[in-house]
A and B are shown apart, each in its own frame.
Chain A
């Protein structure tokens, strides 16, 4: 115990803290402390962090330019297959571009789109969810109707149609995937807000004259933050897969930009003879998405230990 023997407490003029004031760990700090002991979170966050670093430093890590074609060296196998060379570690594609460099640069596309789309979904979903949950009544009814309508639409088809009409670009793909990926945020934040709103501390805030806006920012959102972060990591994985699907179908990222989905599409004709063209980008996708999901699972356990099954 830090029981000090001073008779006259020294008050810090800024924070008003005195030496004997306990400063115990906040709920957030406790969660972070638990994070360091959660194996799934460690692995997921570790891989994700590594891939983000790869994306940031792609130009320095890639041995070749991802766009440099070299027809004499086309369709070279990876180094461990007969005929492979150390020059092109993971082989080359059908126009002779270095596969490793393209995979490294593909990380950029996937992570940009994942983060961007999950953020856009977060803004739409959390806004609607909190409003519907807090105000109820007709706001809730209309938001629920929009949700039902959204869930009834075939997402990928709609995305394809939209990209087709607006025209493909990185920004368009991010916006469209994000604008279609907010339902999970909405469902969770809406019911959580309804619950929190019924608690007495919200009633106490209303009784002290707080406006709905002050209540939402000061009382409700801090209690939603852990849930939102968890959904964000799951949506990250979903958005990355959606981009890969769109690119595979030819309406996402356009050639020659390196995107894992696009690389799978380009390699699919030669899949039986040169499986690495499909397997390698597929592996990258798998690792990235599973890392995001592991991290999400871990975060869920960490932030709400009572819901752990």
Chain B
């Protein structure tokens, strides 16, 4: 008998313009000890599914299902009170994406760990405490007994996520739901947490639902994968089967949109269009609008489930073979190795940036060396990747080069001129930034046209000329010109990032500094932006400094790599060498931590 059985679960949310069908007739089963991965881009309904199982949906949400059973219990008819006492937290545990906000900052770790167990009367305070210490030890928190008295702010993000896992395990749940448990963490920490979850599952025999936007992460740790899109389950099967023989065009497109760490560099496959909100129950294939294989009957009726071997099914009318025929992207040109004689565009010499902090008005000064004696040079036409985890000083270094903050020591030269004596507008013509978060990089009160044309306005370019150039830039970054008068609130994340790129490019700068340009975006959107950046590099001979923690992005774009650790350069060299034969331990660690697919995947297999 399966542990969890979900039959035709639907969730709809009240929004100002009607009902948003977030999840539509979703069915799945989960056996004891089994791990199911639910994969989808933002807005696919994967989190809503989890929240519906936990009865944590936002107010105004309506749930309906034909069946929702856990073992012998019918979760549909259970009262809220009984659910809270017997299921929530005790039989189903949950960990969330954001470890920084999922612990209460004013209570100690110990109190938060033991609270639920004691309140539900499962344990007395002493046994609860003992169990909490054991669990903290198990999840890898050093000196657990002392940590019980600490507060969340005294721990790092990775440690907090470990505490959250310990908390979810306090009552020995039969099912653990992990909603993007590692998205907010550094790569190396990500790998550790995923490993910990896999170990715990083996030890305790609990079942797990892992929700993620990252197919690679999911495929490594789960037995089965369910692919969601537009609130519907499109494909479901064993992880190896889904990855090796994806039966739905959406899964195939997603797989090909993910950049790889090795193999020849190709243009990434992209999925045109954006995820549409389902304002009515779907009557046709939800993916039809964006599907490369769309046929007339896709838009008239919901495709049936085609069941293949071992219960691997897809909701698609295509025969298997068709999906396998998805073309590989064209090869990108090999990076020109002959860049040594080109002009030096960025020359950063011995940059040190020290932040001084005072704990109180009269307290002692504390120094933080964000960047410690880093030298960096980038030649014309070259793309250099600055790799490091949070706290490595990579963003600080970028801001020093952009002239946004002053270095404590050292100097920056752009095209041979010292940045210190340069006029702001001259510097702006040379170097432009693209930031990580497309939601904070655009002024919410300005239209797209105003945002793109603003750098021109600052140079005193006339209104019609500004408008002409803004339209031209929108063409270059492939934004439809009908969005000229839209405000950022009308745009999707990918569209916003294109506006930011257009704004940076409008004055035709020589150097582009991209600070994690795609890490806030969905996989399919990331592919579009990475392709766009590759095109811009080729078309405009741009020099690019790209800051990232993602080795696959490095492989996709960079000629040369500089690895930063705690403000210092630990390794530097051509991308092909650093990615394949890293000389430093830390670089190797970063490479190993990066999630990747097994060797038997079509992405590499069909390339031959």
Chain A contact residues, CB within 8 Å of chain B: 13, 15-18, 20-24, 26-28, 199-201, 203-211, 214, 218-219, 222-223
Contacts and interface: CB of A to CB of B under 8 A. Distances in A.
A82 B428 CA distance: 81
Contact of A211 (B424, B442, B447, B481): B424
B455 A208 contact: yes
Given A208-B454, A208-B507, A200 B437 contact: yes
- Between A208, A209, A219, A222, the greatest number of chain B beta carbons within 10 A of the residue's beta carbon is seen for A208
B454 A205 contact: yes
B503 A16 contact: no
B606 interface: no
A22 B485 contact: yes
Nearest to A219: B443
B486 A22 contact: yes
B444 A27 contact: yes
Nearest to A225: B445
B433 A26 contact: no
B424 A209 contact: yes
Interface stretch (B156-164, B463-471, B586-594): B463-471
B424 A22 contact: no
A133 B449 CA distance: 28
Interface residues of B, number: 46
Given A24-B490, A27-B487, A206-B404, A222 B446 contact: yes
A165 B469 CA distance: 61
Nearest to A223: B445
A214 B454 CA distance: 11
Contact of B433 (A24, A199, A204): A204
Interface in B414-462: 423-428, 431-433, 435-437, 440-447, 449, 454-455, 458-459
Interface string B472-494: 00000000011111110110000
A284 to B, nearest CB: 38
A22 B449 CA distance: 12
Given A207-B433, A209-B425, A211-B424, A18 B454 contact: no
Contact of B486 (A15, A24, A208, A218): A24
B435 A18 contact: no
Given A27-B444, A204-B500, A222-B446, 15 more contacts: A16-B484, A21-B481, A26-B447, A27-B487, A27-B489, A200-B436, A200-B441, A201-B442, A201-B443, A203-B433, A204-B441, A206-B404, A207-B433, A210-B424, A211-B424
A214 B458 contact: yes
Given A18-B481, A24-B487, A203 B427 contact: no
A201 B489 CA distance: 14
B551 interface: no
B443 A222 contact: yes
Contacts of B431: 207
A13 B465 CA distance: 11
Contacts of B445: 27-28, 222-223
A201 B451 CA distance: 9
B402 interface: yes
A209 B485 contact: no
